[in-house]
Structures are given as structure tokens and as C-alpha cells.
Amino acid sequence: MSFEEPTLHDDPDRFDRLDGLDRLNAADPDDAEAALLACCGSRRWARRVAAHRPYPAPDALLAAADTAARALGRADLCEAFAAEAAAAFTPSQARAAGALRAAHAAYERRFGHVFVICLDGCRPEDALGRLLPALAARLAGTLPEEHATACEELRRIARGRLTRLAEGTLVPGCGGPAWDLRECQGSRQ
């Protein structure tokens, strides 16, 4: 006699007891894709990563995400960049916000997409000090150099969010924006 593992349909409360990676693995395809879109705004990337479930461990999820990221075309990257919103500033950051917004606008005019940077491990008080010099340096680069840099930053952002998703610590709807200074805490960008 064999016993089958109860399904989520047999025990709907079981879903609430799963950790982040198990939740992703057990989610229906649309819900999994929606959760992954909080990590990277490319629908193609989210579909590819969702399609390869279940993942036995977070490392397998991250490897699949990296593979999917390398396969993205220009339109997919533009979609992912567009999903990253402009920074939100606290009142104490208001003075620097003007300079940052001006640099961001120049970047967007030059490269055609929003500026993305991974600030994993950055303390909030250090974020502006990293953003302004990074924007200035990247504005001086060529289009091919910046394309490669932006793609790598987007990959790093997605990996950080996926790690939090697998740990069950990514709050739905709070995965980004990629350079939102409110997100710059602990291991967050």
C-alpha cells in the first residue's frame, strides 16, 4: 500500500506553512510568474524561471535565473528596465535628490532606459554617496559598455530579490524599485 503526499488542493492551509522556495515551487504558474516579476520585470525571464520549477535549492533557482537573464533580448531588457521605478527620497535626502534626479534624467536621455544599480549591503546613509558617483561614471561610458553594466546590475538586483523570495522575506509588491533608497537596508539593494 502506498500513501500519497497531500496536495495543496487537499490541504489549502499547507501553502501557508511552506517556506519561500517551497511556495514558489508549489504556486500555480500565474502566481509563480507574478512573484518572479517582483524580482525582475521581464515577463520572458519570469516565464522561463517559472517553467523550470521545482527548484531543489535556492542555488538552483539562482542558476536558472542567471541562465534566463543571459537569454534576454533588447526588448526584454527594456521591459525589465522600465519596471524599475524612479527613486523615492526621504525628507533628509531632499537636497541631494535634485542632483540625483538631474543625473538620472541625463542618463535616461543618453541610454534610453532608467538607471539601475544594485545596492545590496548598502547602508541607507551611504546610498547617495554611491549613487551620484556611479551615475557620473556610467554616463561617461559608451553605449555598449553601459548596456553590459546595466544588464549585470539588473542580474544582481534580481538575484538579491530571488534570494529574499526563496527565504520568504520578499514582501509582495516591495521587491523594487532597484534604486529606491528605502530598499537599501541590510542585504537589500
* Cell of residue 19, nine digits: 517556506
pLDDT value, residue 92: 59
- Measured in whole angstroms, how far is the alpha carbon of residue 6 from the centre of its chain? 33
Q: Which residues contact 16 (CB under 8 A, 6 or more apart)?
A: none
DSSP 182: G
pTM over 0.85: no
pLDDT at 89: 55
Q: Which residues of the chain have pLDDT under 50?
A: 1-17, 86-87, 173-189
Specify the pLDDT at position 119: 87
Residues 6+ apart with CB under 8 A from 84: 41, 114, 116, 154, 157, 176, 177, 178, 179
Specify the pLDDT at position 10: 44
For 189, the enclosing helix (H) or strand (E) is none
**Domains, in order of start, for the chain:** 12-183 (1.10.3330.10)
Q: Measure the CA–CA gap between 129 and 113, rounded to whole angstroms.
A: 22
Predicted confidence at residue 90, as pLDDT, reads: 58
Q: What's the Cα-to-Cα distance from 168 to each of 38, 57, 73, 134, 154, rounded to whole Å? A: 13, 13, 30, 31, 21
